Structure 1
Amino acid sequence: MKILFAHRNCESLGIEYISSILKQNGHKTDLIFDPGAGDIEFKSKLITRVFKYDDKILQKIKRFSPDLIAFSSMTNMFPWIRHLTKLIKQSFEIPIIVGGIHPTIAPEETINYDYIDMICRGEGEFAMLDLIDSLDSRREQYEIKNIWFKKDHKIIKNPLRPLLNDLDSLPLPDKDLFFKYGAFSIRYYIMTSRGCPYNCSYCHNHQLREIYANDKPYVRFRSVDNVINELKWALERYKFKKVYFYDDVFGMNLKWLQDFSQKYKKEINKPYKCLLYPQNITKEKLSLLKNSKCKEIDIGLESGNQRVRKDILNRNISDKEMLKSFSLLKESGIQFSTLNIIGVPTETLDDLMDTFHMNYKIHPKGALFTILYPFPKTKIYDLCFELGELNENGIKIIHKGLSSYRDRPILKRNFDYVIKFNIFAPIFLKLPKSLNKYLFRLPPIKFFRIISIIFLTTPKNVRTKLFEFILMLLRTSDYYKKMEKKQEYYY
């Protein structure tokens, strides 16, 4: 069987693992990719028109002639999937399946779209293998766990299979799918675990834990040796300069981190970036991270107001604990950026300024402020509805994946000051305190939005992301040009 994956804007580790499983079992896979050039950090219709790939994607489908087209969907990617699936169905009679977090959390809304034939909920590696083997045998089975089908104007809803406990049993991810498009280049993206132990109200992890309530453990780890072996293989193949550990929280297990720190420094020794949770920070862990060449950390401050942080965002950490964690980070010498959510229910202007002042006090190298996007069926989504912050139109927007954390707030209250804060807070954190009074006086025009991007993260990460973005555009364009000339093209 031939399976053509489709993705946009970034690399998908989920697609890479599924592709490896399918190839391991004798199937052929490939990828259609859209860099989403006009929808990175800020929306630009002009850039979108210049780098539009719809026609080239259709050519790729015709050339590869797949038996199945498979998408992986985050909520904010769903509008593109709706657009592309309709376009595909107008030209081809090829079954389409959509997996990922959006159909897992909002399955009804996903499968009810006319141009989607099936969805995959939860982890997809072995569900997709069972589906492809079924299609290949010409005896379609409609009892495959994790898969929902449309059949005879009805929807067949199958239960979830257990979570995969032995992550080491998975083959190496099929990175070649995305590498040829420049979706990664100088920085290698990898995960060492699945799941998160925390229950933040705005994140899907608490929903997934409820869905898999009978599966223990929810948080699972790859062995250190398995991670190191992948990195050694990838270093030889892709010659990367940096690593980004994309775990929800990196190095949660101290014993694992001790083993990792020693082996990574000895066998890989490349600078890396990771994500941490404030309560998970200790002096010993930071020492292990630094000794193994951790150079950058993203960490969720989320709100500088303790009431908002605890009661609304469900992050049970006091101001004192928060400041202690950031003090340890400063002492370690590792550069860090904060992640902040603004425009949340019940948040006042004073609460918002608490977030600004705490950032000013801890002085991060970068600060990302995102406007709350209440993802479907999260606890904060339910709270917004209960408080009357979400009307029917807002609910429809969210379930269709329209808008994003970069756009105007979806909630009903007047949030003009939130939009200004979103743009100017990262800039004003770098200016003298005496200028803070001008924070809400400048107009929120696109020029300032572009300027603020420089201040969202560490200078090193800004340079890396800019290089990755430009290279992705060039390689994607080059790939499709080569394809049109009917040349095989692999990096």
Structure 2
Amino acid sequence: MSGVKKIVLVQPNMKWIDWNWKTSWDVHPMNLCLLAAMIRKDYDVTVVDGNAHDYTPEQFKKIIEDLDPDLVGLTLLTNEYWESVHLGAKYVKEISPDIITVVGGVYATVSYKTIYNDKNFDYICVGEGEYVFQELLQYLNGRGSFPPAGFLGRKDGEQTIPDKLQRAPFIQNLDALPYPAWDMVNYGEYSNKVGKVTVDHPYLYPYTRMMTSRGCPIGCTFCEVELITGGPFRYRSVDNVIKELQWLQADYGIKSFMMDDDNFFINRPRVKEFCNKLIDLKMNLSWKAHAVAVFHMNDEIIDLMARSGCCSVALAVESGTERVLRDIIHKPVKLESARHVSMKIKEAGMDLITNFIIGFPTETWEEIRQTFAFAQEIDPDYAKFFIATPLEGTELAKMAMENNLLATHADTSGQMKDMNWSTTQIVSNEWTPEDITIIRAYEWERINFRTQKKREKLSKMMGITLDELEGLRTSTFKSVQDNLMKMREKKNGHGNNGSKTTEVEHHGDHRSPGAQTYPGVEMSREKATTPVSFGF
């Protein structure tokens, strides 16, 4: 080919693999629009969001064929639907094997060794791609050498050995990056709606999602952030962030934003400056804070957050036992501090959501029950309960593999190939996967919906009626039944076509202290449906 001029940046459709509550999210193509902003002056760039528009494979191929690009860049933000990006590259190569394919983003950075086996990808970007992608384009156009770091290729003179690859350097000056080129998509399709009803959706529309920093030095064993954006904390200046919000207000009329940083609150002086700027400039923006570390909160920060427009805080407590926090998760959370911070957030008038994780290696059944008891004690407006998942490259995955505690297959790279992310993949003498699925569902139900007052508050937070809330609860339990059915069928190696119900064996009492007796779990094929709501 003579060179690269026409570029299409693609987010593939995860629904090519499955339709469920996770693939129904509207994932803002922030990384693609940022990359487009970096290269648009020198190249003809188009952003294609197959996921947001739910393109069929045929529709996707027709769009790519009509655009007739020289290069297609694909991205994926999760390993869970890894097949979708491989299908995207396959479809591109079916149109023309001469189209250059590049994959980058979270999945590529974490799983590049496995991805390299798929020859539908010509190049794999590992690490932050804003600058090294430009180097690759220069190389492809004969105006430079192959990037010394950040890319795997397949030709002579390119880096073709995954084990010798150096990832792209971490970008130190984040202020030097442009704002995402939202004009290259119909931004209203993202800012005026969400993919599903949830406690995490914005309270006011139009809204935007903000990323103001990269990296996290905490080192939680279950987290991939250090693999993706590194341990050192790098951040944009407060003025740079405020100017972006002012631009989004002026051009897109935003009324709220989500703070999606992995660890926004690690730099307290910066947080205080940011909140004070929102207050002093009277920006009147509502905002939500996600994945907030308990140990970065204090009374002053909480007060400033509330006065600056923060309406909801998702507090990452993780566990209700000090041993699990200290020895397994490696997160410096103190339960007494979590109690105090939770109380102060509610007193400040902000909604409180808490995140907990169960099912870690060596975690006992009693410790799992203690986590549910602690969640009830601090009494959030909504408590989320996740199942510990050994994500590729994490210390948790290493711990599980070295001690032969994985319930599913993993190849030599550590990528879980047949993982059901809605159930545990870790084995224990204390509990079974069925136990974890059952206790998670029933304690989620008991803690979050136990009083009329809590149900009314939750329906208000979600912007739905009490009847609609009841419908979501029902559909969630149907999805739990479906997961249990799948686990039983997988364990038996076949389906149970001759029976409408399946009994579930379990260890221990599926109750936390203070819980009432649970009804039996009936798993009916006729009633089981695809999960659609709270994420089971």
Short-chain TM bin? 0.7 to 0.9
Q: Tell me what 2:37 maps to.
A: 20
**Counterpart of 1:155 in 2: which secondary structure?**
coil
CA apart distance, 1:21: 0.4
Whether contact under 8 Å (2:361, 2:427) holds in the other structure is: no
- For 1:75-116, what per-residue CA distance to the aligned partner results, in whole angstroms no more than 9, with x for missing partners? 123121122222222222212111122222332112222311
**Counterpart of 1:58 in 2: which secondary structure?**
helix
Q: Tell me what 2:135 maps to.
A: 130
Q: Tell me what 2:166 maps to.
A: 159
Q: Tell me what 1:183 maps to.
A: 190
In structure 2, relative to structure 1, the CA distance for the partners of 1:438 and 1:381 (3 Å cut) is same
My pick for the range that moved more, 72-81 or 172-181, is: 172-181
Q: Identify which of 252, 257, 265 aligns with 2:271.
A: 257
Structure of greater relative contact order (alpha carbons < 8 Å, 6+ residues apart) = 1
Distance in 2 (CA, whole Å) between partners of 1:448 and 1:349 is 29
Q: Tell me what 1:441 maps to.
A: 520
Q: Identify which of 74, 80, 86 aligns with 2:84.
A: 80
Q: Does 1:117 align with 2:196?
A: no
- Aligned residue pairs total 433
- Structure (1 or 2) with the greater helix fraction: 1
Q: Tell me what 1:423 maps to.
A: 441
Q: Identify which of 418, 424, 428 aligns with 1:409.
A: 424
**Counterpart of 1:122 in 2: which secondary structure?**
coil
Whether contact under 8 Å (1:420, 1:444) holds in the other structure is: no
In structure 2, relative to structure 1, the CA distance for the partners of 1:434 and 1:299 (3 Å cut) is closer
Distance in 1 (CA, whole Å) between partners of 2:395 and 2:38 is 34
In structure 2, relative to structure 1, the CA distance for the partners of 1:187 and 1:20 (3 Å cut) is same
2:516 maps to amino acid: K
My pick for the range that moved more, 364-373 or 271-280, is: 364-373
Q: Tell me what 1:202 maps to.
A: 222
Q: Tell me what 2:497 maps to.
A: none
Q: Does 1:173 align with 2:180?
A: yes
CA apart distance, 1:290: 0.7
In structure 2, relative to structure 1, the CA distance for the partners of 1:144 and 1:181 (3 Å cut) is farther
Q: Does 1:380 align with 2:386?
A: no
Whether contact under 8 Å (1:79, 1:400) holds in the other structure is: no
Whether contact under 8 Å (1:228, 1:268) holds in the other structure is: no
- After superposition, the CA RMSD in angstroms is 2.9
Using the size of structure 2 for normalisation, the TM-score is 0.74
**Counterpart of 1:299 in 2: which secondary structure?**
strand
1:442 maps to amino acid: V
Q: Does 1:68 align with 2:85?
A: no
**Counterpart of 2:320 in 1: which secondary structure?**
coil
Q: Identify which of 59, 68, 92 aligns with 1:56.
A: 59
Q: Which has the larger radius of gyration?
A: 2
Unaligned ranges ≥5, structure 2: 14-24, 193-205, 452-511
CA apart distance, 1:452: 6.3
Whether contact under 8 Å (2:354, 2:383) holds in the other structure is: yes
Q: Identify which of 9, 18, 32 aligns with 1:5.
A: 9
- For 1:16-64, what per-residue CA distance to the aligned partner results, in whole angstroms no more than 9, with x for missing partners? 21111011x4212222223379xxxxxxxxxxxxx55211111110111
**Counterpart of 1:300 in 2: which secondary structure?**
strand
Q: Tell me what 1:221 maps to.
A: 235
Using the size of structure 1 for normalisation, the TM-score is 0.80
Distance in 2 (CA, whole Å) between partners of 1:319 and 1:325 is 10
Whether contact under 8 Å (1:366, 1:426) holds in the other structure is: no
In structure 2, relative to structure 1, the CA distance for the partners of 1:377 and 1:451 (3 Å cut) is closer
Distance in 1 (CA, whole Å) between partners of 2:409 and 2:236 is 42
Unaligned ranges ≥5, structure 1: 38-50, 457-491
Q: Tell me what 1:453 maps to.
A: 534
Q: Does 1:345 align with 2:361?
A: yes
1:192 maps to amino acid: T
Whether contact under 8 Å (1:3, 1:29) holds in the other structure is: yes
Q: Tell me what 2:495 maps to.
A: none
Q: Tell me what 1:292 maps to.
A: 308
Report % sequence identity. 23
Q: Tell me what 2:329 maps to.
A: 313
Q: Tell me what 2:201 maps to.
A: none
CA apart distance, 1:182: 2.1
Distance in 2 (CA, whole Å) between partners of 1:130 and 1:351 is 51
My pick for the range that moved more, 384-393 or 173-182, is: 173-182
Q: Identify which of 99, 103, 111 aligns with 2:104.
A: 99
In structure 2, relative to structure 1, the CA distance for the partners of 1:205 and 1:30 (3 Å cut) is same
**Counterpart of 2:515 in 1: which secondary structure?**
helix
In structure 2, relative to structure 1, the CA distance for the partners of 1:315 and 1:167 (3 Å cut) is same
Q: Tell me what 2:474 maps to.
A: none
Distance in 2 (CA, whole Å) between partners of 1:271 and 1:36 is 25
Distance in 2 (CA, whole Å) between partners of 1:154 and 1:247 is 32
CA apart distance, 1:358: 1.0
**Counterpart of 1:382 in 2: which secondary structure?**
helix
- For 1:241-293, what per-residue CA distance to the aligned partner results, in whole angstroms no more than 9, with x for missing partners? 31001111223322222221222232521100012101111000001101100
1:234 maps to amino acid: L
**Counterpart of 1:109 in 2: which secondary structure?**
helix
Q: Identify which of 147, 164, 179 aligns with 2:151.
A: 147
- For 1:149-203, what per-residue CA distance to the aligned partner results, in whole angstroms no more than 9, with x for missing partners? 1126981554234321111111111123454582343220011111123110011
